[in-house]
Amino acid sequence: MAEVPTEGDVVIRATELSKTYRTGFQQLFGKGGVEALNNLNLDVRRGEVFALIGPNGSGKTTTLKLLMGLIFPTSGKVEVFGANPRTSVDVKKRIGFMPDGPYFYSHLTGYELLAFYGNLLGMPKDEVETRVTELLQKLEMTTRAKQPVGTYSKGMLQRIGLAHALLQNPEIIFMDEPTSGLDPVGTADMHQMVRSMKAEGKTVFLCSHFLTEIEDLCDRVILLDRGRTLQYGDLETLLAERGKMRLRVSALTPAAREQVLARSPHVLEDADTSLQLVVPDGAESYEIISVVRDSGAHLDALTPMRRTLEEVFMESIARQQADAPWQDTDRGLGQIVDRGEN
């Protein structure tokens, strides 16, 4: 079922990408520093929502900056549309960036701010006007467009940040923690915006430390922990629990109930005449289904088991620590960090 991507479908490729932040002194000796990213390999395909997920400090922002060509890798290679994003002007025009907690001039209105950035990008004046008006409308900010940005809520600032990223109608949008600090309504709105960008055929690359919110949003994910890749791939495949089904039955007679329970030790919900159980995907599930059918009970649902992303993440971390406990040292402490690099 999974399609094998052709080369043309790959819009971003990272190959053995690593980044260690070093001060000038550390650079001179090629030692020390903070290892933010270790040997990242990934492909992002045109039109997908790709999520980079991991706790704070796992290297997400670093990866974004590397992929956009804003900082130098220590080693490895980045290609965006087959070119180097650091040097290609064409690539820069085709990508947009919504940073984490952007700083905006608070005395400008939403309209003025976007027009200001449009001018900075060298867009012609009338194009700036049409594009800004169109974006404000699309992001439902028209009524607030004449008020200073300083009066905006966090959700509105995020919308302005997104409008900024979309000014040049980019093909790829990079979003760094797009929902951080948003309330549930703001979060749902932001998800909707991501979905509509995908519907327009854009590629969305987002990073987040919220594991749960991503589950309904992205096509493929990479899980990072302290710069290392824990998991990479199709979200559904990652979440699927092979060989297990979730079964929901109702209108059970006491006898049928006993027979069903005898065949499945793992009960999720028990409400007398209805049950929710985990059954192995195979002969046993057929036996349970026959019991249900023969007793006249209702088979309400039979679905593959799905883990949460949080469970996948915790399992991967536990597995990594069991395999390589020496990697679990608290890196970064007491080291000189170069904050002036980017």
For residue 158, the partner it binds in Mg ion, ligand ADP, none, with Cβ less than 5 to 8 A by kind, is none
Instruction: Supply 178's token pair.
Output: 């797009």
Residue 57 within binding range of ligand ADP, rule CB under 6 A:
yes
- Nearest distance from residue 330's CB to ligand ADP, in Å? 11
Residue 208 within binding range of Mg ion, rule CB under 5 A:
no
- Nearest distance from residue 140's CB to ligand ADP, in Å? 28
In the block, residue with structure tokens 């899980």: 223
- Nearest distance from residue 30's CB to ligand ADP, in Å? 16
Candidate list 42, 59, 112, 333; residue touching ligand ADP; CB under 6 A: 59
For residue 339, the partner it binds in Mg ion, ligand ADP, none, with Cβ less than 5 to 8 A by kind, is ligand ADP
Q: Under rule CB under 6 A, which residues in 183-242 are in contact with ligand ADP?
A: none
- Nearest distance from residue 38's CB to ligand ADP, in Å? 11
Residue 181 within binding range of ligand ADP, rule CB under 6 A:
no
Kindly write out the interface string for residues 6-45 of this chain, putting x where it contacts ligand ADP by CB under 6 A and - elsewhere: ---------------x------------x-x---------
Residue 338 within binding range of ligand ADP, rule CB under 6 A:
yes
Closer CB to ligand ADP, 74 or 264, in the complex: 74
In the block, residue with structure tokens 């700036």: 128
For residue 215, the partner it binds in Mg ion, ligand ADP, none, with Cβ less than 5 to 8 A by kind, is none
Closer CB to ligand ADP, 53 or 163, in the complex: 53
Report how far residue 309's alpha carbon sits from residue 318's, in angstroms, rounded to the nearest whole number: 14
- Nearest distance from residue 260's CB to ligand ADP, in Å? 46
Q: Under rule CB under 6 A, which residues in 304-333 are in contact with ligand ADP?
A: 332
Q: Under rule CB under 5 A, which residues in 51-110 are in contact with Mg ion?
A: 60-61
How many chain residues interact with Mg ion (CB under 5 A)?
2
Report how far residue 70's alpha carbon sits from residue 57's, in angstroms, rounded to the nearest whole number: 18
- Nearest distance from residue 113's CB to ligand ADP, in Å? 25
Write out the chain in H/E/C secondary structure: CCCCCCHHHEEEEEEEEEEEECCHHHHHHCCCCEEEEEEEEEEEECCCEEEEECCCCCCHHHHHHHHCCCCCCCEEEEEECCECCCCCHHHHHHEEEECCCCCCCCCCEHHHHHHHHHHHCCCCHHHHHHHHHHHHHHCCCHHHCCCEHHHCCHHHHHHHHHHHHHCCCCCEEEEECCCCCCCHHHHHHHHHHHHHHHHCCCEEEEEECCHHHHCCCCCEEEEEECCEEEEEEEHHHHHEEEEEEEEEEECCCHHHHHHHHHHCCEEEEEECCEEEEEEECCHHHHHHHHHHHHHCCEEEEEEEEECCHHHHHHHHHHHHHHHCHHHHCCCCCCCCCCCCCC
Residue 58 within binding range of ligand ADP, rule CB under 6 A:
yes
> Which parts of this chain interact with Mg ion (CB under 5 A)?
60-61
> Which parts of this chain interact with ligand ADP (CB under 6 A)?
21, 34, 36, 54, 56-62, 332, 337-339, 341-342
